[in-house]
């Protein structure tokens, strides 16, 4: 967010710079099961963002003093590659990546049945390969698919999306310039079906009415994203059947449904 109003974000036809409507998401593609050696994995392209997630576990937590006697620890690590942004990013953790790792871990702990795995850890590595605003939402969304791909018992996946304000208008899913030069950005993560909120942050300022409008936009979009997450798992499942030589007609049926 910036207080410098040095960029018009909505053109004279009332369209956003990339031609989107106010309530339109960027294109999203998700693929599940991309890494052979991880217990679960997934990859997402969300506009110009490219983010990968790998899940390992549940496995015994080391160091042992970090173990929780009655539940598993869900440990997400968000990392932005040095080459993910136009000006090379200094490699390694920084305040921002520690914050994002924490909020993603806490969001996912809401849906994983952690009581089933005392003293264990479930590691989720989120690697941002290309960043263009909204990477925490993309990271949380793709990590949920990777957890499901790993067969981790969960009540549901989490879908995540941001809404915000640009040039005085409440809009969905801010792009890079909108994030930089807009007035507010509100990343939201929900458990679809129940609409339980597991992630909510706000950068910038909104009135109560604008905030409510932004939340409605983001929650509706999360339902759309949830469909894409489920489709990725259905396709993954059909591929697994292919690997095991199941009958072709069964695979076709699943692919049609996906």
Interface contacts to ligand ADP, rule CB under 6 A? 85, 87, 89, 96, 131-136, 176, 179
Pick between residue 165 and residue 236 the one whose CB is nearest to ligand ADP. Answer: 165
CA distance readout (Å), 187 to 62, 115, 141, 184, 197: 32, 28, 12, 10, 11
Q: How far is the CB of 161 from ligand ADP (least distance, A)?
A: 11
Nearer to ligand ADP, 136 or 236 (CB): 136
- Assigned token pair, 255: 């692919």
CA distances from 142 to 78, 92, 179, 256 (A): 12, 21, 21, 23
* Pick 43 or 117: Cβ nearer ligand ADP: 43
Q: Shortest gap between Cβ of 132 and ligand ADP (angstroms)?
A: 5
**Shortest gap between Cβ of 32 and ligand ADP (angstroms)?**
22
Nearest approach in angstroms of CB 162 to ligand ADP is 7
Give the span between the Cα atoms of 235 and 258, in whole angstroms.
6
Measured CA to CA, the distance from residue 235 to residue 13 in angstroms comes to 39
Nearer Cβ to ligand ADP (1/228): 1
Angle of helix 208-243 relative to helix 248-257, nearest 10 degrees?
170
Q: Which is nearer to ligand ADP, 39 or 178 (CB)?
A: 178
Residue 45: CB minimum distance to ligand ADP, A? 14
What sign does the dihedral 52-56-57-60 (CA atoms) show? negative
Alpha carbon distance 188, 197 (integer Å): 7
């Amino acid at each position: 967010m910036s207080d410098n109003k040095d960029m018009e974000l909505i053109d004279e036809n009332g369209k956003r710079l990339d031609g989107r409507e106010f309530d339109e998401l960027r294109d999203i593609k998700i693929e599940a099961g991309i890494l052979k050696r991880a217990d679960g994995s997934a990859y997402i392209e969300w506009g110009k963002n490219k983010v990968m997630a790998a899940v390992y576990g549940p496995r015994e937590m080391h160091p042992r003093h970090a173990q929780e006697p009655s539940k598993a620890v869900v440990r997400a690590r968000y990392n932005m590659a040095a080459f993910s942004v136009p000006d090379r990013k200094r490699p390694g953790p920084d305040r921002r990546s520690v914050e994002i790792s924490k909020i993603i871990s806490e969001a996912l702990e809401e849906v994983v049945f952690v009581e089933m795995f005392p003293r264990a850890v479930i590691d989720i590595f989120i690697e941002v390969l290309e960043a263009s605003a909204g990477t925490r939402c993309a990271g949380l969304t793709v990590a949920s698919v990777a957890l499901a791909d790993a067969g981790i018992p969960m009540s549901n996946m989490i879908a995540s999306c941001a809404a915000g304000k640009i040039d005085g208008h409440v809009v969905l899913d801010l792009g890079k310039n909108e994030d930089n030069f807009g007035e507010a950005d509100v990343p939201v993560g929900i458990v679809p079906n129940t609409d339980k909120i597991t992630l909510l942050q706000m950068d910038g300022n909104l009135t109560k009415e604008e905030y409510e409008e932004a939340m409605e936009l983001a929650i509706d979009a999360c339902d759309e994203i949830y469909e894409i997450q489920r489709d990725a798992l259905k396709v993954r499942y059909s591929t697994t059947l292919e690997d095991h030589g199941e009958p072709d007609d069964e695979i076709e049926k699943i692919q049609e449904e996906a």
